[in-house]
């Protein structure tokens, strides 16, 4: 276990954390703003992966296919929100059970459309090589994924800090009633955030595909990680989602390397610690 081991797992963990961020950023904002625990977020990821994969087999460009996966889930998310969820946004349990109903239906649809076989996803041609530094070997795609996610994170931060809609979202996360009281149309922000959350998760599907592959049940495996991210980072906080994603990605990578049978369990340790020390999460407000 030399330095190569640590650097390798560090990079792998950050790459995994990058794809978690694409799921968790939407998850945390949807929760922070609407108090909806959107369990379908990882199902969006899976659908994004399959849609992208289908396009790739028809010789579309990797990045365009990924974007198409995101657009597909954005439309799906918009439809689900405007048809059903918007009525229940303050009702945690109902909205949660509804998103679980979606997840069951989406999972089964995925199985019906794409079958039960796992599909591996190759990175785009230009990034399929491995990089080698001395004894350290890692896929160049890892680095690309980390940069792409950080870029998306930067766009999100700028959007939240610099645009009017971002300001409204931040205000409504803090105090929805007061924001409404000031005459702001918060409902529009709800639609935007839910759709954008679905878009990010769907986008993550193909981008993360070279790491996670795509198979029925993948969404169920990612759900605890997304939850861990949000608990660690603090619910409703974008910075928390970023730091939490990277932390959980790293714990997952080192956990898998050191204790292969217990990777979920090793993730649970920081979650439990943070729950004990800071119940609101690293960036959350203590309730």
Partner 1 sequence: MIARGSWKWVAIAAIGLAVVLVLPRAGVPPFYVSLLTQTWIYAIVAMSLDLLVGFTGLVSFAQSAFFGAGAYGVAIAATRYAHTDFLTGILIGLLAGAFVAAIFGLVALRAEGVGFIIITIALNQIMWGLAYQWVSMSGGDNGITGFIRPKVGPFDVSGNAGFYYVCLAFLVLMLALLVAITRSPFGLVLRGVRETPRRMRALGYNVWLYRYLAMLIAGGIAGVAGVLFAWYNQFVGPGDLDLTLSTQLLIIVILGGIGTLYGQILGAAIVVFLSNGLSAVTQRWELVLGAIYFIIVMYAPDGLMGLGKRIVRRIQGKRAAAPLIENQLLGVTGDES
Q: Which residues bind partner 1 (CB under 8 A)?
A: 35, 37, 39, 84, 88, 90-94, 96-98, 100-105, 107-109, 111-112, 220-221, 223-224, 227-228, 230-231, 235, 261-265, 267-268, 271-272, 275-276, 279, 287
Residue 74 near residue 63, CB atoms below 8 Å: no
Least separation, in Å, of the C-beta of 19 and partner 1? 18
Least separation, in Å, of the C-beta of 228 and partner 1? 6
Identify which of residues 91 and 184 has a Cβ nearer to partner 1 in the complex.
Answer: 91
Identify which of residues 70 and 236 has a Cβ nearer to partner 1 in the complex.
Answer: 236
Identify which of residues 70 and 234 has a Cβ nearer to partner 1 in the complex.
Answer: 234
Identify which of residues 4 and 275 has a Cβ nearer to partner 1 in the complex.
Answer: 275
Residue 123: φ, ψ to 5°: -65, 165
> How does strand 136-139 pair with strand 130-133?
antiparallel
Identify which of residues 176 and 206 has a Cβ nearer to partner 1 in the complex.
Answer: 176
Least separation, in Å, of the C-beta of 236 and partner 1? 11
Least separation, in Å, of the C-beta of 209 and partner 1? 21
Least separation, in Å, of the C-beta of 139 and partner 1? 24
Identify which of residues 14 and 107 has a Cβ nearer to partner 1 in the complex.
Answer: 107
Question: What is the SS3 string spanning the chain?
Answer: CCHHHHHHHHHHHHHHHHHHHHHHHHHHHHHHHHCCCCCCHHHHHHHHHHHHHHHHHCCCCHHHHHHHHHHHHHHHHHHHHHHCHHHHCCCHHHHHHHHHHHHHHHHHHHHHHHCCCCECCCCCHHHCCEEEECCEEEEHHHHHHHHHHHHHHHHHHHHHHHCHHHHHHHHHHHCHHHHHHCCCCHHHHHHHHHHHHHHHHHHHHHHHHHHHCECCCHHHHHHHHHHHHHHHHCCCCHHHHHHHHHHHHHHHHHHHHHCHHHHHHHHHHHHHHHHHHCCCCCCCCCC
Least separation, in Å, of the C-beta of 80 and partner 1? 11
Identify which of residues 159 and 268 has a Cβ nearer to partner 1 in the complex.
Answer: 268
Residue entry with tokens 């971002």: 166
Least separation, in Å, of the C-beta of 276 and partner 1? 7
Identify which of residues 151 and 279 has a Cβ nearer to partner 1 in the complex.
Answer: 279
Least separation, in Å, of the C-beta of 227 and partner 1? 4
Taking the alpha carbons of 235, 200, 46, 8 in that order, is the dihedral positive or negative? negative
Beta bridge pairs of residue 119: 214
């Amino acid at each position: 276990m030399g330095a190569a081991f640590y650097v390798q797992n560090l990079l792998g963990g950050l790459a995994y954390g990058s794809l978690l961020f694409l799921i968790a950023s939407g998850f945390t904002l949807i929760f922070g703003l609407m108090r909806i625990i959107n369990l379908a977020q990882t199902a969006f990821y899976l659908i994004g992966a399959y849609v992208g994969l289908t396009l790739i087999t028809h010789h579309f460009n990797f990045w365009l296919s990924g974007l198409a996966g995101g657009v597909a889930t954005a439309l799906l998310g918009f439809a689900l929100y405007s048809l059903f969820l918007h009525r229940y946004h303050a009702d945690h349990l109902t909205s949660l059970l509804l998103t679980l109903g979606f997840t069951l239906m989406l999972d089964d649809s995925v199985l019906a459309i794409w079958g039960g076989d796992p599909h591996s996803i190759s990175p785009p041609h230009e990034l399929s090589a491995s990089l080698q530094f001395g004894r350290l070997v890692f896929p160049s795609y890892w680095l690309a994924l980390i940069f792409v996610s950080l870029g998306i994170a930067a766009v999100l931060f700028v959007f939240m800090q610099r645009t009017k809609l971002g300001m409204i979202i931040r205000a409504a996360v803090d105090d929805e009633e007061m924001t409404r009281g000031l005459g702001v149309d918060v409902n529009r922000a709800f639609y935007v955030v839910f759709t954008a959350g679905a878009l990010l998760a769907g986008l993550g599907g193909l981008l993360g595909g070279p790491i996670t592959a795509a198979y029925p049940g993948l969404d169920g495996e990612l759900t605890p990680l997304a939850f861990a991210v949000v608990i660690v980072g603090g619910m409703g906080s974008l910075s928390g989602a970023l730091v939490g994603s990277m932390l959980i990605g790293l714990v997952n990578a080192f956990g898998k390397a050191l204790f292969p049978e217990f990777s979920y369990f090793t993730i649970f340790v920081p979650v439990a610690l943070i729950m004990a020390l800071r119940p609101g999460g690293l960036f959350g407000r203590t309730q």
